[in-house]
Amino acid sequence: MTEFINQDLSGARFRNVDLSGAQIRGVVLADAEIDGYITGLTVNGIEIEPLVEAELNRRYPDRAKMKPTDLAGYREAWTILEKLWAGTVERARRLPPELLHERVDDEYSFIETLRHLLFATDAWVLRAILGNPSPWSPLDLPHDEMPDMPGILPNDRTARPALDEVLALRADRMATVRRVLDDIDLDAMTTPVTAPGYPAPKAYPVRRCLGAILNEEWEHRLFAERDLNTLTSR
């Protein structure tokens, strides 16, 4: 167990770290920002997650619909995401093209965000659900921490494709998700692919695959809107 005692961590940045089970006592946590999967966290004896969930759902009334229980709910959630993303893309088009490649606080640029969603759709829908062992496009962008894996194209993380080029492929992938939602058994398990890649070649609940897509689409649009606010203010 690592201990930090009488340490000055002001201004520190923690990225993709696991703090499960951490105990933090006698801290000064002023003007701090925490973003991630938070469950069971208590602050001064109060569990935070229910408070955060309630406030997020108040701010974003459609957010609760991203955890549907039936096929009609999944279709409704996807329709909501399509409309929200259309507005976000229209907003991005009003910026100079070079800003769409600019990262804010070392997060994905706008175009990198779209490329990452291409990767997520290829992984969880084309590969996991539809059984295509290698659905990858050179525009796909795996998450930064993913090591090189067999079965995945060696994507150029420094590429700067035009927005319309990325959107053309994105339109195709989003239409594929819509077709899947037209006729799928939510309670089924996927048929494992045999080729190596991501996700690992095994059977997954269909709900888990679709849930991953809804979560990625919802969260990354919020991140994109946040960063567009910063870029627009410059």
pLDDT at 37: 73
pLDDT at 154: 59
Q: What is the pTM of this model?
A: 0.87
DSSP letter assigned to residue 43: E
From 65, 70, 92, select the one nearest 170 (Cα to Cα): 92
pLDDT under 50: residue ranges of the chain: none
pLDDT at 150: 66
74: Cβ contacts below 8 Å, ≥ 6 apart: 68, 181, 186, 210, 214
β partners of residue 72: none
Tell me: the pLDDT tens digits for 185-213? Answer: 999 999 999 888 899 999 999 999 999 99
Tell me: the pLDDT tens digits for 135-168? Answer: 999 999 998 777 777 667 656 778 899 999 999 9
pLDDT at 153: 62
pLDDT at 21: 76
Length of the chain: 234
pLDDT at 10: 73
24-44 b/e with 16+ CB inside 10 Å = b? eeeeeeeeeeeeeeeeeeeee
pLDDT at 85: 98
The alpha carbons of the chain give a radius of gyration, in whole angstroms, of 19
- DSSP string for residues in 170-199: HHHHHHHHHHHHHS--TT-BPPPPSS--SS
pLDDT at 180: 98
73/195 Cα distance (integer angstroms): 32
Domains and CATH numbers, the chain: 68-233 (1.20.120.450)
Q: Among all chains, which residue has been given the structure tokens 């923690």?
A: 14
173/150 Cα distance (integer angstroms): 23
Cβ burial, residue 136 (10 Å; 0-12/13-18/19+): buried
